[in-house]
Amino acid sequence: MRRKQCQVTDPEAITEILRRCTVGRLATIGIDGYPYITPVNYAFWGGSVYFHCARKGEKTDNILRDPKVCFEVDIPLAYLDTHFEPTKPACQVHQFYHSVIIRGKAEIVEDLQEKVGALNALMASHEKIEGYSAITKDTEAVASCSVVAVRVESLSAKSDLAQKKDDATRQRIADYLEQRNLPGDGEAARRIRPGMTK
């Protein structure tokens, strides 16, 4: 990673990013050799990424032909617009964010216990209404869908929070974002303030 100051290495912080996101982008290798990217609802569970899909389709065909995949998630925080420093050129604008990129191999989950566990992890990640019925091995939908696991081989994570700026500039950015108060500004401001990047 070129911008080492943005690198996230704390496993808990990386897991938090993965658990906060609800949609990730999966890149498989198409039959024509080009990357094929699809957004998927996913769960990060037991150290692997899981999603469910149809038994047939381009994504599944790609995985069966070549299991090497890349998976990416990101959390956009705040966009620093030209109003922060209106006398400076537009190239000074910036997006603050968290991101994780995973490289690994994808496989269709055949073990019934793992499949049921992954489907319940997906429900827990996405269902906001309490009281739904847990999935069991006898649930009809279990047999009709595929569950894919991405086994992590390498992982990198970044949090871009103005780490290259001096403390005075970071304080000004945080104050500006806090006053602007758009979605994401509050979290970005808290993390950008000097001494608060974790």
Chain position carrying tokens 């929070």: 161
Q: Which residues contact 133 (CB under 8 A, 6 or more apart)?
A: none
Question: Which residue, among 38, 45, 96, has the nearest Cα to 70 in the 3D structure?
Answer: 38
Interatomic CA distance for residues 99 and 115, integer angstroms: 27
Distance of CA 59 to the CA centre of its chain: 19
What is the model's pLDDT at position 87? 86
Q: Which CATH superfamily is domain 4-77+94-160 in?
A: Electron Transport, Fmn-binding Protein; Chain A (2.30.110.10)
What six digits make up the tokens of 16?
């938090």
What is the model's pLDDT at position 49? 98
Interatomic CA distance for residues 42 and 54, integer angstroms: 14
Interatomic CA distance for residues 190 and 161, integer angstroms: 10
- For the chain, domain boundaries: 4-77+94-160
What is the model's pLDDT at position 44? 97
- Ordered mean pLDDT values, 10 residues apiece, the chain (198 residues): 80 95 96 97 96 92 97 96 87 92 97 93 86 83 90 96 92 96 95 75
- CB environment 41-57: b (16+ within 10 A), e (fewer): ebbbbeebbbbbbeeee
Q: How many CB atoms lie within 10 A of CB 114?
A: 16
Interatomic CA distance for residues 182 and 121, integer angstroms: 32
Burial of 184 (0-12, 13-18, 19+ CB in 10 A): middle
Q: At 118, phi and psi to the nearest 5?
A: -65, -40
What is the model's pLDDT at position 193? 93
Chain position carrying tokens 């381009």: 58
Question: Which residue, among 81, 77, 80, has the nearest Cα to 99 in the 3D structure?
Answer: 77
Q: Are 77 and 97 in contact (CB under 8 A)?
A: yes
Q: pTM score, two decimals? A: 0.88
